[in-house]
A and B are shown apart, each in its own frame.
Chain A
Amino acid sequence: MSAEATQTQENSSKSIWGGGRSPYNVSWGKMYMWFFLVSDAFTFSSLLTAYGFMRHRFTEVWPKAQEVFTHFPFVEGHLPLAYVGLMTFILIMSSVTMVLAVDAGHRRNNKAVALWMFFTIIGGFTFVGSQAWEWYHFIEGTEKGALIMPNGDHYRFSEGVHGAPKDALIAPNHSFVTDPVQIAKIEKEARVVHGANLTENEYGHPLFGDFFFFITGFHGFHVFSGVVINIIIYLNILGGVYTRRGHYEQVEKVGLYWHFVDLVWVFVFTFFYLI
């Protein structure tokens, strides 16, 4: 089997179903990677559809992501969407380095493939770390927390919320409670909640937290497994496995998975953070 194979027109002009060549022009491994990604995309589509459905059900008490994710490392103040925008940039960037690794593979340039693969792994780790940081802040919540009434009604402090009056409470329907007597009554009856977990959520309806943990967690796990697979492929590249094999299809396959992870994040970013 020659490393850099060529085929003459005579051979390839047979019917594409005539044998000897792949009718889809992909190896079975790459085709099954594609079909795995289709099924995985179905899982994520179902999760996001469920998210939209429940959000529609609880529109009035659903938190606004712009008011929840406002932190940025080493920067004080209110910076909505900035950090998640940066995370999106990191993931797109690592997708670019991955596709450059695939391109270097087409040129059979082992050193370049290894270098781009290395950058891809760095990008993946940075993204997983950023997500952990985001989770940490979501679980920890704010210093003051929020008030939850025995009947489940949920009041937030107006402090730090853009456009809200000072020393007021924000009612479940996003209106402001400014009357001190009423505020005192609520504070007496309610229980203080900090951050979010699977059963309660400082920022609004608990289902927001459930979907956040489940969808970004499922995606984060994909990124993490992607990084692990990338490391295995990277070690193979350094060991010269693909130089001996004569082609870098394995890099293409793991590249497809990596781009898919980026693709899913594009949708999560839109439906969870923007809309």
Chain B
Amino acid sequence: MADNKHEVHGYYTGDIHNQFVEEHYDPKNRSVIWRTFWILLAITLAEVGIAFTGISREVLIVIFITLTIVKAYFIVAYFMHLKHETYTLVYSIILPFVLIVYLIAMALCEGNYTHLWDHVPFL
């Protein structure tokens, strides 16, 4: 951006604020899209494939959750384009999910006490 006459591609939003928004258009985008598609397809096939192998359940769960997070990364980063957004926006979107990590941690702790429900008739 050192060039003073550098031109930025984008548009005015046309809403009440009518702010200028930069667009990141790149002719290579389409090959990135198809590469992402093949990665997602390969991971899904691998998941269905290893579901029927003799790998122990504990290991399978770890593999499945890891692969799911990898898939989620590719969808959010490339399809939803979050990788090319400003850091302020990225962090505003990603950081709240710390609360979900907390929720899962709490559910895992609480899950050890569910045997106390055994005397509750409707459960």
Contact = CB atoms under 8 A, between A and B. Distances in A.
Contacts of B68: 266-267, 270
B53 interface: no
Given A106-B25, A266-B71, 8 more contacts: A7-B8, A22-B21, A24-B86, A25-B86, A42-B100, A57-B117, A66-B52, A262-B79
A20 B19 contact: yes
5 contacts: A1-B18, A49-B107, A66-B51, A92-B37, A245-B14
Interface string A141-161: 000000000000000000000
Contact of A5 (B12, B72, B76): B12
Q: Considering the complex of A and B, which 5 residue pairs feature the smallest CB-CB distances, nearest first? A: A27-B13, A247-B11, A106-B25, A57-B114, A270-B68
Contacts of A57: 111, 114, 117
Contacts of A50: 107
Interface string B17-58: 111111101000110011011001100110110011000000
A259 interface: yes
Contact of B61 (A5, A8, A9, A275): A275
Interface string B79-100: 1110001101100110011011
Interface in A237-266: 245-247, 249, 252, 255-256, 259-260, 262-263, 266
A270 B19 contact: no
A129 interface: no
Interface in A1-46: 1-13, 20-29, 31, 34-35, 38, 41-42, 45-46
Given A5-B20, A263-B72, A22 B104 contact: no
A45 B97 CA distance: 9
- Classify chain A's interface size: 35 or more
Contacts of A53: 107, 110-111, 114
A100 B18 contact: no
Contact of B11 (A11, A82, A99, A246): A246
A38 B65 contact: no
Interface in A80-104: 80-82, 85, 88-89, 92-93, 95-96, 98-100, 102-103
A24 B88 contact: yes
A107 interface: yes
B80 A27 contact: no
A56 interface: yes
B33 A267 contact: no
Nearest to A102: B81
A24 B89 contact: yes
A202 to B, nearest CB: 21
A165 interface: no
B44 A92 contact: yes
A3 B37 CA distance: 32
